[in-house]
Structure 1
Amino acid sequence: MHCPPLWASCTLLCVIPNRFFKKPPPKQGRNMQFRRTLFQAGTALLLFAGCTFLFLRPTHAGSRPATPQTQYSAAVSKNYQYPFGSDKPFSPSYASTQSGQFIQPGAFPTAEYCGHCHQASYHQWRASLHSNSFREPYYVKNVDLLKHTKGVAYARHCEACHNPIALLSGSLTPDKYTHATWYNNEGVTCSVCHSIAEVKPTYGIGSYVMGTPSALLDANGKPIPGEVPYSEIMAHVQRHIAAVMKPFYKSPQYCAACHEADLPRTLNHYKWLPAITLYDEWQHSSFSHESPLPFYTKPHLVCQNCHMDLVRTSLPDYSKKNGMIMSHRWIGGNTAVPVYFHDKKQYAETVKNLQHDRLNVDLFAVRLNKDQQWTGPLGSTGFTLKPGDNVQLAVVIQNKGIGHSLVPEQRDILESWVQFVVKDAHGRVVMNSGGILPNGYVDPNAHSFVAQMLDAQGNLLQHHEVWLKHTNAVGYTIQSGSSTLVRYQFQIPEGDPGPFTVTAKVNYRHFDQVFANWVLGTGHKPLPVTVMASRTRTLYLGQNKPVPPKPGDNPDWMRWNDFGITLLSQQQYGEAVYAFEQVAKMRPDYDRAWANIGIAYYNWEKYPEAAQYLAKALAMNPDSARTLYWQALTFRNQAKVPEAIADLKKAATLFPLSSDIHRELGFSYYQQHEYKLAEAQYQTVQSINPNDLAAHYILGIVYSRLGNRAEAAKQEKLFADQKLDPMADIGMQSYYAKHPAIADEAVPWHVHTEAEAMQSWNSPTPSAKTAPPATVAKGGAR
């Protein structure tokens, strides 16, 4: 217990209403007077006790550390495991402390302590994924598997972000590890986030430097460790703010300390592999305003704008302004955890976020029978339909409102997929691709935005065993601002007069059935499925005439543009050119339409045509860094390197934080043997993205030619560790041979057929994930 000055408690007695101390009226008897006096004394005592509780309340053990940090750290070090080196106590994570020492758990103020003045924030935090980052069963089951198969020390890779106090206190070692601690129940507690003193380059996996946990600075600006009396905070509010708030807390780099991750060799004893790339995805999105390459422009938004937006609250909170606070729910896409904890509010807010204009689904065009050309856009273009016609329908899905990919993280245990349903006028199903089968599994032939991780032997990893991963069998997603095209084919039934309704929707479930069964058991209540976006159109036998668009439908020029984007990503360059030409016809003043035609020709390796359209776009908008970038690449492929350098230098002044521009400028200097200039550009690339593979490769050569062998060797080593392992393809091909549906999905222009959908519903083994792998990879007990 710690005590403030006595006046802090006594002062409150002075403001007790005078009515408690008024003398009784003269005519009252002594008994009444005695009872009133006793009541007054009791009231005063209760108020005094309440005030004393508020100001003198005991806190969790060690809230004002009794043992000096140096002494505590030395004691922990005696029995601590250092499998990665004595200088890397927190590896395989990248976390560290300012002092380089362990921090006793009691040095971190509890969330309850903070909640005394910030009740609204505390209430929201308690429902959040940060609060539940260690205590929820899905994570605990997975990290316990890692601890049991590789050892507690390897869990430091995960716990840097899921249980920072356990990591930084030295508790992740066999003799000290336990589930029964107060900080396990708090996960990422208030004093964790608000004590970080520095974030390192965007490596992730806890790439932060933890300072002294403190709620108040002293008069000299130094942190006062642990919890302090509330009276002291109220007397020095600015010193409190300085202790718990730093400018970089509002930056996306701050979030990237944990929401970016890789799988280092120290974890998997294999090689470096990328894992979570949320920051990179945001940086390459139109929301960041740091890259010119996205197809559309958007308002500038950082992580906090979406995940900590202003919300109204009726609860008291000293940070509240005009009834609003920054949300500490950090709403994302996890619907499973609030369901587990029966938190209806958190669940409802999560569903609301998933459905908040994040995606656009467009039933864009049809191909009938043996037509080679798409007929569209549907709704604006008429066509004729006959019984027996084979209909191929193009579904375009646009990621319009997410600052990162559709399903971020590793996508191996999360589910997002397209369900495509055709029904006749009586509700009879003609085709159902992507439904949930009776056993709870998603149709294995569904078009899914997931990854399937494989181990060294090509076995499917079903329980998020990232430490065993060697490659992905599939890994589909939709990047921010981009689109994808999914093709479906069905036959119009003979003798059915129609009409037929066609619905395409994007579903989301957190987690998949295999993982949920492993954690909760096979008898658990099904996890909820959220429809993120959907679109329905009606097809008639005979003439289908144009119809007015529905509210929320994109204009036709944008529908063609999104269609072109999907074709470009699927390497259908001729069709992409045609689609972008339709955009240019509708909007001849839109310079990006002409630039997109040029980009399609560039990827088609038709450089003269690319140069023609890019020049046209630049004539309309000479300061378009996007067009300058693609024109520079076109110039370089035409052996016009000086012209390419001029374009890239101009683009770099417009977008100084674009790693793509600096990388290509560096390579252009390298081609001209301007090694010092190339070195400077690639160093800029690495300051933006430390894991840029091309930067490692070219810098290794550049340093060697500049005579700097030490730096050359360093870059060569990083490149060797991070480059793709060609031998991983062997396991992938073996997996494809066993699972032809997955092999088909690996082809971008795969067509989902009516027969394929029926096969899913009639198959005795409805999913590749229902049966355990034939063999268990070394160290990977299931």
Structure 2
Amino acid sequence: MVCLLGLVLATAVAGLVVGLPGVKAGSETDDAAAARLAYNQKIAEKYNFRYGKEFPFLPSNANTDTGQFIDPKQFLTADYCGHCHKESHTQWRESAHSNANRVPYYLRNVALLNDSKGIEFSRHCEGCHDPIALVSGALTEGAPKKRPYDQDGVTCTVCHSIQSVDTRGTGSYVMGTPAVLVDDDGKPITRKVSDGEILAHLDRHSKAVMRDLYRTPEFCSGCHKAALPRTLNDYKWQRAISLYDEWQNSSFAKQSPLPFYVKDSVSTCQTCHMQREKLVSTDSGAKKGELASHRWLGANTLIPKIYGYDEQGARVTQFLENSVFNVDIFGIEHGEMLNGATWKNLDAPLGLTKFNVAAGEVLTADVVIQNKGIAHSHVPEQRDMFESWVAFTVKDATGKVLHQSGFIKPNGDLDETAHSFTNRLINVKGELNDLHQVWTNRVVAYNNTIQSGRSQIVRYSFVMPEATVGPITLTATVKYRRFDQHFVDFGMNKRQYEQPIVDMVSQTRTIQVGENKPVAAGPAENKEWMRWNNYGVALLDAQQYAASTHAFERVAALRPDYADVYTNMAIVEIQWERYDDARPNLEKALSLAPDNAPNNAPTRARALYYRALVERNMGKMDEAIADLQKVAASFPRSRDAHRELGFSYYQQHKYDLARAEYETVQTIDPDDLAAHYNLAILYRRLGLNDKAKVQAAYFADQKDDPTASTYALEYLRAHKEIANESVVWHTHEMDLPARPDGTAPQIVAPMSSSMSGGSF
């Protein structure tokens, strides 16, 4: 309907603009170039070129098409675009993009950087939060601190003026002078044009503002991937966020065969965060009554509260509740009895297994959290002040809380011992960077985020009450709020600022003293084989290799035709460095996924990849290379396949072939550390010394600092309340009473290799 309306308007306006100037650049191009040069010279006179005149925008990786500054007046306002794109404008206004440079918490944080180091360092942040300020040269001493375009943040003409990006991130885009129309020759017209001119030449408008690039995840990588460079921290390069890389390696991208699960179709940043919606008002960009959402729904629950965007707030909450996670109270480990009885094994999966519980027994609930609906980690981006955690409660039949973990304290802080999906960023003083002072980072003390498609075990120990209490309920809930209380109080400049908390997913199971019989599975529960598989993946990541193997063996018993489970067992053996034991499982996987069968490419390539690692370890280099070549042929953007193929060629002294593979890796990830290291060696051996020096310098800057772990160890030693979280296999002990002799109960991880019924 709207498209038809646009055509009618265009036809009508075309008859009204006969007397208007022709839509040709002519001398306009020369005039625009002269005006830009004059503006550039004016700004350059007082601009702080801290890193040299050839790098005006560092520490951001952003640049402009000519390397010159762009007059901010060239960026038309969002209101201007809203004349025809009313619904897009409404959605954008409530989005995080629109508010990127006006929300109080961001402004306070960037002011902290400016006060600590100087405004020129804020170019690192503003390249993505306020691109107009960056490319206009406003981020220098003496420049106005209040700018009208700040209120638009990442506005329409920012995204739609980007000409190219690379996947380094930290604002790695090239910005051109905004134009909403091109002339007869396809050259941009950079002056402000009237609505009438646009409506009379909709095809030229589309050519000016749309590129195929904008529909790709690579476009988003320009800002949704970032590093902390030496030019910011005076220390070394450190990866900050890697959403693009995480997506590119996930099952959603279908560019790698290595994920544990296979998706039916490709999902990109745009298909998840810009889903097409039915048109509510009017918008000339709509197609068939639908519009690609410009809300960019994600996880920012705070902006809607600050500005009263009720629609955005409701939509963000729905987005977070929409099958992002699966939570599974998977099993019960039987610990020691308070009366001195012996330790027993694991009963699992709960709901499908009959088991017995005694009063006074120490139980440990194994909760498996599966990141099934996100193409990147949770929580994404900077995790030091974002807050998502597991709330676990044990309640009696009346609803009284007997034990709990992951509660909010009266002062708004999260229970320190909660299992949270976060990390701890430690500074040069060995202290926590509690206000997102990323420019002082030295090391990550630990990282409990869940990668896409992976699972995590969270274990809770408690005492089973007497039978007179009645049945108890165990509830595990994944919760989310935008920031931890300390940061949001700072950011909003208000004590105990209250922010929304979203229950993303929850599960409850009932247990009673004595016999517990199987119950019907709920509609949201995974099938039994997948529950075991997720448990096995979580055990693998927790380095519990024997138990992981047993879990995968249960999967194989339930689904003997599931080829990937045999590869899973082989992965355990490879990580255990038992390569000979891995080989039979890989051959089994390949036999179940023949080369000529449809839809077998991911499963077969995955098994071939790991078989190649086994073959190479056994000295069978030709066989390993042949397998890796097949993987790379099926998945040409698999960085892992190209990296391992490059190393295999290197071991055979085939330096030209190795070089080509590592250079391919860098087309996928320009910051791949192994590529930097090996290309430095390969270039030297091929006589390309200048190239070798460049790669060696990158490697020296980007490799881990071996001394930085000291900061983490000292911090964890001083904060025992969270040190438990740095251990991959740990238990949250909830108010466990002492033994009669005064000693604490000992919780032991299940180590048995035998299985009978639902226990092992």
TM-score (normalizing by structure 1): 0.88
Tell me, in whole angstroms, the C-alpha distance in 1 between the residues paired with 2:105 and 2:447: 22
Displacement of 1:657 after TM fit? 0.0
Tell me, in whole angstroms, the C-alpha distance in 2 between the residues paired with 1:183 and 1:279: 28
For the pair 1:551 / 2:517, whether they are aligned, the reply is: no
For the pair 1:351 / 2:317, whether they are aligned, the reply is: yes
Displacement of 1:314 after TM fit? 2.1
The one-character-per-residue Cα deviations of 1:628-676 (angstroms, maximum 9, x if unpaired) are 0011111111121211111000010000000001000111111111111
Tell me, in whole angstroms, the C-alpha distance in 2 between the residues paired with 1:131 and 1:652: 40
- Residue of structure 2 equivalent to 1:39: none
- C-alpha contact (below 8 Å) 2:615/2:621 kept by paired residues: yes
Structure 2 SS opposite 1:755? coil
Displacement of 1:77 after TM fit? 0.4
- Residue of structure 2 equivalent to 1:51: none
The one-character-per-residue Cα deviations of 1:680-726 (angstroms, maximum 9, x if unpaired) are 11001111111111111111121222222222221111111111111
Q: Counterparts in 2 of 1:657-736, with a 5 A limit?
A: 657-736=637-716
Q: Which amino acid aligns with 1:693?
A: L
Q: Between Structure 1 and Structure 2, how many residues are aligned?
A: 703
For the pair 1:247 / 2:215, whether they are aligned, the reply is: no
Displacement of 1:496 after TM fit? 3.6
- Residue of structure 2 equivalent to 1:328: 294
Tell me, in whole angstroms, the C-alpha distance in 2 between the residues paired with 1:576 and 1:265: 41
Tell me, in whole angstroms, the C-alpha distance in 2 between the residues paired with 1:75 and 1:756: 70
- Residue of structure 2 equivalent to 1:28: none
- C-alpha contact (below 8 Å) 1:65/1:107 kept by paired residues: no
Displacement of 1:215 after TM fit? 0.5
For the pair 1:149 / 2:121, whether they are aligned, the reply is: no
- C-alpha contact (below 8 Å) 2:411/2:496 kept by paired residues: no
The one-character-per-residue Cα deviations of 1:443-498 (angstroms, maximum 9, x if unpaired) are 00001101111111211111101111011122211111110011110011235432
Structure 2 SS opposite 1:734? helix
Tell me, in whole angstroms, the C-alpha distance in 2 between the residues paired with 1:415 and 1:525: 15
- Residue of structure 2 equivalent to 1:55: none
Tell me, in whole angstroms, the C-alpha distance in 2 between the residues paired with 1:647 and 1:622: 14
Structure 2 SS opposite 1:262? strand
The one-character-per-residue Cα deviations of 1:735-776 (angstroms, maximum 9, x if unpaired) are 111101222111011100013899xxxxxxxxxxxxxxxxxx
Q: 1:579 to 1:739 in 2, by over 3 A?
A: same
Q: Counterparts in 2 of 1:647-662, with a 5 A limit?
A: 647-662=627-642
Matching residue within 502, 507, 514 for 1:530: 502
List alignment gaps of at least 5 residues for structure 2: 1-8, 17-30, 337-342, 596-603, 739-760
- Residue of structure 2 equivalent to 1:33: none
Matching residue within 377, 399, 407 for 2:379: 407
Q: Which amino acid aligns with 2:438?
A: V
Q: Which amino acid aligns with 2:525?
A: D
- Residue of structure 1 equivalent to 2:173: 208
Matching residue within 193, 202, 211 for 2:159: 193
Displacement of 1:523 after TM fit? 3.5
- Residue of structure 1 equivalent to 2:25: none
Structure 2 SS opposite 1:416? strand
- Residue of structure 2 equivalent to 1:445: 417
- C-alpha contact (below 8 Å) 1:106/1:226 kept by paired residues: no
Matching residue within 55, 79, 94 for 1:88: 55
For the pair 1:587 / 2:553, whether they are aligned, the reply is: no
- Residue of structure 1 equivalent to 2:229: 264
Q: Which amino acid aligns with 2:725?
A: E
- C-alpha contact (below 8 Å) 2:646/2:661 kept by paired residues: yes
- C-alpha contact (below 8 Å) 2:569/2:585 kept by paired residues: yes
Displacement of 1:65 after TM fit? 7.2
Runs of 4+ in structure 1 deviating by more than 6 angstroms, as ranges, are 11-15, 64-67
Tell me, in whole angstroms, the C-alpha distance in 2 between the residues paired with 1:725 and 1:561: 36
Structure 2 SS opposite 1:645? helix
Q: 1:190 to 1:269 in 2, by over 3 A?
A: same
- C-alpha contact (below 8 Å) 1:422/1:502 kept by paired residues: yes
Displacement of 1:312 after TM fit? 1.6
Tell me, in whole angstroms, the C-alpha distance in 2 between the residues paired with 1:12 and 1:251: 34
- C-alpha contact (below 8 Å) 1:474/1:742 kept by paired residues: no
- Residue of structure 2 equivalent to 1:19: none
278-287 vs 428-437, which moves further = 428-437
- Residue of structure 2 equivalent to 1:596: 568
Tell me, in whole angstroms, the C-alpha distance in 2 between the residues paired with 1:314 and 1:574: 56
Tell me, in whole angstroms, the C-alpha distance in 2 between the residues paired with 1:482 and 1:194: 35
Tell me, in whole angstroms, the C-alpha distance in 2 between the residues paired with 1:445 and 1:754: 10
Displacement of 1:313 after TM fit? 2.5
For the pair 1:127 / 2:97, whether they are aligned, the reply is: no
Superposition RMSD in Å: 2.1
Displacement of 1:522 after TM fit? 4.0
Matching residue within 328, 353, 364 for 1:381: 353
Structure 1 SS opposite 2:149? coil
Q: Which amino acid aligns with 1:726?
A: P
Displacement of 1:159 after TM fit? 0.7
Displacement of 1:515 after TM fit? 0.5
- C-alpha contact (below 8 Å) 2:301/2:316 kept by paired residues: yes
Q: Counterparts in 2 of 1:98-117, with a 5 A limit?
A: 98-117=65-84
The one-character-per-residue Cα deviations of 1:401-455 (angstroms, maximum 9, x if unpaired) are 0111111112011000011100011222121000111110000000110111111
Q: Which amino acid aligns with 2:155?
A: T
Matching residue within 469, 475, 485 for 1:503: 475
Structure 2 SS opposite 1:220? coil
Displacement of 1:321 after TM fit? 2.3
Tell me, in whole angstroms, the C-alpha distance in 2 between the residues paired with 1:757 and 1:723: 46
- Residue of structure 1 equivalent to 2:463: 491
- C-alpha contact (below 8 Å) 2:467/2:512 kept by paired residues: no
- C-alpha contact (below 8 Å) 2:105/2:490 kept by paired residues: no
76-85 vs 710-719, which moves further = 710-719
- Residue of structure 1 equivalent to 2:243: 278
- C-alpha contact (below 8 Å) 2:181/2:189 kept by paired residues: yes
Q: 1:622 to 1:703 in 2, by over 3 A?
A: farther
Q: Which amino acid aligns with 1:74?
A: Q
Tell me, in whole angstroms, the C-alpha distance in 1 between the residues paired with 2:413 and 2:426: 20
Tell me, in whole angstroms, the C-alpha distance in 2 between the residues paired with 1:677 and 1:313: 53
Q: Which amino acid aligns with 1:101?
A: Q
Tell me, in whole angstroms, the C-alpha distance in 1 between the residues paired with 2:681 and 2:262: 37
- C-alpha contact (below 8 Å) 1:736/1:743 kept by paired residues: yes
List alignment gaps of at least 5 residues for structure 1: 1-7, 16-63, 759-782
Q: Which amino acid aligns with 2:641?
A: I
Tell me, in whole angstroms, the C-alpha distance in 1 between the residues paired with 2:492 and 2:236: 32
Tell me, in whole angstroms, the C-alpha distance in 2 between the residues paired with 1:66 and 1:655: 45
The one-character-per-residue Cα deviations of 1:49-80 (angstroms, maximum 9, x if unpaired) are xxxxxxxxxxxxxxx97970011101110110
Matching residue within 98, 106, 109 for 1:139: 106
For the pair 1:626 / 2:606, whether they are aligned, the reply is: yes
- Residue of structure 2 equivalent to 1:311: 277
- C-alpha contact (below 8 Å) 2:488/2:497 kept by paired residues: no
For the pair 1:166 / 2:133, whether they are aligned, the reply is: yes
The one-character-per-residue Cα deviations of 1:586-629 (angstroms, maximum 9, x if unpaired) are 00011011111111111111111100110111111144111100
Q: Which amino acid aligns with 2:654?
A: E
Q: Which amino acid aligns with 2:501?
A: V
Q: Which amino acid aligns with 2:220?
A: C
Q: 1:757 to 1:654 in 2, by over 3 A?
A: farther
Q: 1:462 to 1:525 in 2, by over 3 A?
A: closer
Q: 1:638 to 1:114 in 2, by over 3 A?
A: same
Tell me, in whole angstroms, the C-alpha distance in 2 between the residues paired with 1:538 and 1:410: 37
- Residue of structure 1 equivalent to 2:583: 611
For the pair 1:566 / 2:500, whether they are aligned, the reply is: no
Q: 1:454 to 1:756 in 2, by over 3 A?
A: farther
